[in-house]
Chains A and B, each alone.
Chain A
Amino acid sequence: MGHTGAVWCVDADWDTKHVLTGSADNSCRLWDCETGKQLALLKTNSAVRTCGFDFGGNIIMFSTDKQMGYQCFVSFFDLRDPSQIDSNEPYMKIPCNDSKITSAVWGPLGECIIAGHESGELNQYSAKSGEVLVNVKEHSRQINDIQLSRDMTMFVTASKDNTAKLFDSTTLEHQKTFRTERPVNSAALSPNYDHVVLGGGQEAMDVTTTSTRIGKFEARFFHLAFEEEFGRVKGHFGPINSVAFHPDGKSYSSGGEDGYVRIHYFDPQYFEFEFEA
């Protein structure tokens, strides 16, 4: 029981009743969070890269990889209509012929999704009509991660082009850029401070040939408004694949290619620190 391939994405709905997972075994599954019971199995033609519940928890979306001759698609199911699940017929399927989706989240109020592409492009797709509402290209390489702020009004992207950028969720207007010397795999916004944490490092395939020193597997903290770095946390000996703040903003955690998940609590100085301005 369960997935038979790598699980690429997980999402829970707002009241944590259901969990959605997408996997390289060419399926997306819906689970009951409390009991762990599989509620739905949606078969796909290729690996499921991203998945998510909308704001109200009624609609799910997932995107598939461009793989084995199949296109990249974003599929939308309305959970309130069980026939869609039973027949594995999404109410909408958006094809992405140009560049596959590497990361995607729901926009505010569940009206659209925001997708990051392999090319570095960002698209806002309507969840009703499927049309592209906004298209921007601020990154030059693949977008590895998109994370929304707590109030969902803005989001931060992490890209292979060594930067993370801040955008407005509604207009997709570019706000800020945070530069590093290594590919950024994940970036998260603090829920209560104007801070952003970036995780990344030398790509996993190159790591064996270089020392951890050159890999720069550090979590790096930037000020959101000034774009200036003010802190680093060392510890991982492989690239960081994922970072997240605790909802209370008093700690953060990071998961690395080295197989460790590290949970760090901030020192009192972190809360006192202020830029001279």
Chain B
Amino acid sequence: MQDAENVAAPEAAEERAEPAQQQPAAEPPGEEPRPGAPGAQEAADGEDEEAEAGPGPEVPVEPAADGEEAAGATPGPSPPPPEEPASPAAAPAEDEDDAPGEQARDAAAEARSDGAGGVQGGPAEDAGAAENGDADEPSFSDPEDFVDDVSEEELLGDVLKDRPQEADGIDSVIVVDNVPQVGPDRLEKLKNVIHKIFSKFGKITNDFYPEEEGKTKGYIFLEYASPAHALDAVKNADGYKLDKQHTFRVNLFTDFDKYMTISDEWDIPEKQPFKDLGNLRYWLEEAECRDQYSVIFESGDRTSIFWNDVKDPVSIEERARWTETYVRWSPKGTYLATFHQRGIALWGGEKFKQIQRFSHQGVQLIDFSPCERYLVTFSPLMDTQDDPQAIIIWDTLTGQKKRGFHCESSAHWPIFKWSHDGKFFARMTLDTLSIYETPSMGLLDKKSLKISGIKDFSWSPGGNIIAFWVPEDKDIPARVTLMQLPSRQEIRVRNLFNVVDCKLHWQKNGDYLCVKVDRTPKGTQGVVTNFEIFRMREKQVPVDVVEMKEPIIAFAWEPNGSKFAVLHGETPRISVSFYHVKSNGKIELIKMFDKQQANTIFWSPQGQFVVLAGLRSMNGALAFVDTSDCTVMNIAEHYMASDVEWDPTGRYVVTSVSWWSHKVDNAYWLWTFQGRLLQKNNKDRFCQLLWRPRPPTLLSQDQIKQIRKDLKKYSKIFEQKDRLSQSKASKELVERRRTMMEDFRKYRKMAQELYMEQKNERLELRGGVDTDELDSNVDDWEEETIEFFVTEEIIPLGSQE
């Protein structure tokens, strides 16, 4: 059998060649990409003059067809397969002397040209060895009619084991397209150039430049010493730009085979059954317009989803070990993402069924695109040099991996920042801003932006505009640039001087950009902060500046408006200032409150209302402010609070003490936006509460306006509803107490009856004395007044010694 295989090998090569030869005839060129050449269309376009050569399909045919004739004379591009049958047998003889080896090879070559295989090769070699042998020695040759009954396997098993495999050679061969076509005069020069480029990846053991009418055909074959080199060359030299006209396309020779076997008929892909996930937005249809939130407690062992309700939270789902670390909602609230050692799972629908899984070992951080279509995951475990897997971008609908990226050690999460519509995502590396587009996940315009010194960047939430800044460099001032995408047009550049640091703050609609600039102006000491306010919706993007000399603790835009709040000063003298950007660009201080206990600003997602919180070290002081008239509606405290979370509608606020930051009194409290405490929910080792986000409203601006106008009408209805539910609640409470009391009375009656039954036994045990009532033996009482005389003596301690 072994021999048969050996024989079959060269034939197989020929057989393979045959259908290949037929192929160009069978199909019109250009209808299908050239086999084995990904993106070959491009290459073909660049080589119109060669079209008559019948591009693509011929290429793979060539080496195989040539191989036959080349085997004897010129070294073929894939010599190993034809040589194969001979070489193992030749090897042992070669060890003794050079000559027999040569002879054996000749014999083998002969055998080969006859189309013969190993069976003939064996005896031929024997003959060679015998010829070479000393004439005096007896002949060990087999008689003419000898039939070998010992298999080669038995005889040369150990040698055969090391016999080169057919694949050894083929795997090391690459095909390079788009090589300049030259005549014999310049061939040597071309070979030199090619050698220079391609020997970088490994030793080239063979090359072949097919010619036609005295000119090379524009594609060549190179063979490396090992398949790894060939792979390396494909990876690195594919797309190599030799000059304007010639960009190399490099492919493995074996790939041509692979693509050759692709059926001509297009198979209709099997229809995947539709998986009905139900209404993923069912929670928006809730009659009471309640919101949901997730709660992690018992130090992460349990996760619950609740309906928020003024009275008491209503549990929807509770699971043990639903996540291994924490959870995240997708930006529009469709999915709940849970974290696991092996990856991320997405849940949704009414029963919170699993919808998608993304396998990423050791995943630690995730980020959704704003449109929820893509998920970015990060794991520190999986990255390798050739296979970037530290950051993976997934398609949330299909669960497919779209692209992997390496991660730089110093990067901050999110490494990729998404444009508001999810069309682009960008990341910053040293002196470079790389912008990628979806769904191809490729670099926008195929190249990154070189921005030397770039420190930070940020997408506008209201349009495809990127803001970035670069610090001062010698005489060049620091610069904030606004760039439109994908045009890359710079729509505004602002130079800044004596800059220490910049922070970019976008207003949620993208109407304004505030660049907080920390400066050390000449002639002054200490840091001054400028708030550079860019009005994005106006022509030329005008900028106005507010300067502050005090240290800045926090800054925040009103989400749907033109106000911003700043916390400034130093403990214990902290003030909050509210500014308003007027339509004429003037920035007006509306109000300043001093002596605040706050380190964080939390605007209601609807604007107008704000919670100033002194989290953690500031003991959880809370101030609820209405910025329409700048009144403090309530001052409160949630001792040691670590988090503040507005519900997505701006009706409620939750303050919480997370077990992750503080080990006792872990709880979350629910407040109205005005600062009225509604609930205290103590949960054992409570960790995290997250409101389920809502997608943007489908109502038009006009409809919203109309609702605002009719607010009085609605408020009456709602007030009535509230009253009803309140009286119902108090009725329920009274009812509950009544039944509790009744049950308790019943129990007490039973216990007392038993107690009375045992009266005699009690009397017996205490010698007939009735002790059942406190005053049952009042006759025995005697009142005594006892006086104690206390004498006081002072002994000086010193005198005792």
Interface of A is mostly: loop
B747 within 8 A of A: yes
Q: Which residues from A are CB-within-8-Å of B53?
A: none
Q: Assess the B774–A191 pair: CB atoms within 8 A.
A: yes
Contact flag A170-B765 (CB < 8 Å), given A175-B747, A214-B665, A276-B737: no
Tell me the bound Cα distance from A137 to B639 in angstroms: 34
Q: Assess the B682–A108 pair: CB atoms within 8 A.
A: no
A225 within 8 A of B: yes
Tell me the bound Cα distance from A213 to B743 in angstroms: 37
Q: Assess the B751–A154 pair: CB atoms within 8 A.
A: yes
Q: Assess the A277–B774 pair: CB atoms within 8 A.
A: no
B513 CB to nearest chain A CB (Å): 43
Q: Which residues from B are CB-within-8-Å of A55?
A: 762, 765-766
Q: Which residues from A are CB-within-8-Å of B762?
A: 55, 109
Tell me the bound Cα distance from A56 to B761 in angstroms: 10
Specify the chain A residue showing the minimal Cβ separation from B667: A181
Q: How large is the interface on B (under 10, 10 to 19, 20 to 34, 35 or more residues)?
A: 20 to 34
Q: Which residues from B are CB-within-8-Å of A151?
A: 751-752, 755, 772
Q: Assess the B754–A170 pair: CB atoms within 8 A.
A: yes
Q: How large is the interface on A (under 10, 10 to 19, 20 to 34, 35 or more residues)?
A: 20 to 34
B156 CB to nearest chain A CB (Å): 74
Q: Assess the A14–B752 pair: CB atoms within 8 A.
A: no
Tell me the bound Cα distance from A181 to B769 in angstroms: 43
B744 CB to nearest chain A CB (Å): 4
Specify the chain B residue showing the minimal Cβ separation from A168: B751
Q: Assess the A56–B737 pair: CB atoms within 8 A.
A: no
Contact flag A214-B772 (CB < 8 Å), given A202-B664, A276-B734: no
A218 CB to nearest chain B CB (Å): 14
Q: Assess the A226–B741 pair: CB atoms within 8 A.
A: yes
Specify the chain B residue showing the minimal Cβ separation from A179: B682
Q: Assess the B765–A153 pair: CB atoms within 8 A.
A: no
- A:90-112 near B, CB below 8 Å: 108-110
A233 CB to nearest chain B CB (Å): 20
- A:51-91 near B, CB below 8 Å: 55-57
Q: Which residues from B are CB-within-8-Å of A175?
A: 744, 747
Specify the chain A residue showing the minimal Cβ separation from B745: A225
Q: Chain A 194-218, CB within 8 Å of chain B: the 1/0 string?
A: 1000000010000000100110000
Q: Which residues from A are CB-within-8-Å of B747?
A: 168, 175
- B:638-683 near A, CB below 8 Å: 639-640, 664-665, 667, 682
Specify the chain B residue showing the minimal Cβ separation from A169: B751
A273 within 8 A of B: no
Q: Assess the A153–B737 pair: CB atoms within 8 A.
A: no
Interface of B is mostly: helix
Q: Which residues from B are CB-within-8-Å of A227?
A: 740
Tell me the bound Cα distance from A248 to B773 in angstroms: 10
Q: Assess the B744–A224 pair: CB atoms within 8 A.
A: yes
Tell me the bound Cα distance from A225 to B751 in angstroms: 15
A247 within 8 A of B: yes
Specify the chain B residue showing the minimal Cβ separation from A182: B664
Q: Assess the A56–B752 pair: CB atoms within 8 A.
A: no
Tell me the bound Cα distance from A154 to B771 in angstroms: 17
A271 within 8 A of B: no
Q: Assess the B774–A247 pair: CB atoms within 8 A.
A: yes
Tell me the bound Cα distance from A175 to B748 in angstroms: 11
- B:565-600 near A, CB below 8 Å: none
Q: Which residues from A are CB-within-8-Å of B741?
A: 225-226, 277
Contact flag A153-B744 (CB < 8 Å), given A214-B639, A275-B737: no
Q: Which residues from A are CB-within-8-Å of B682?
A: 181
Q: Which residues from A are CB-within-8-Å of B758?
A: 108-109
B738 within 8 A of A: yes
Contact of A109 among B737, B765, B774 (CB under 8 A): B765
Tell me the bound Cα distance from A227 to B733 in angstroms: 13
B586 CB to nearest chain A CB (Å): 46
A121 CB to nearest chain B CB (Å): 20
Tell me the bound Cα distance from A214 to B639 in angstroms: 8
Specify the chain A residue showing the minimal Cβ separation from B666: A181
- A:134-180 near B, CB below 8 Å: 151-154, 168, 170, 175-176
Contact of B664 among A170, A194, A214, A247 (CB under 8 A): A214
Q: Which residues from A are CB-within-8-Å of B755?
A: 108, 151-153
Contact of B751 among A15, A57, A110, A153 (CB under 8 A): A153
A to B CB contacts below 8 Å, 9 in the list: A55-B762, A108-B758, A109-B762, A151-B755, A152-B755, A176-B744, A194-B744, A225-B745, A226-B741
The 9 A-B pairs of least Cβ separation, nearest first, read: A56-B765, A225-B744, A277-B737, A153-B751, A225-B741, A55-B765, A277-B738, A225-B740, A153-B755
Residues of A within 8 A of B (CB): 14-15, 55-57, 108-110, 151-154, 168, 170, 175-176, 181, 191, 194, 202, 210, 213-214, 224-227, 247-248, 275-277
Inter-chain pairs besides A153-B752, A224-B744, A225-B745, 6 sampled, C-beta below 8 Å: A14-B771, A151-B751, A151-B755, A181-B667, A225-B741, A226-B741
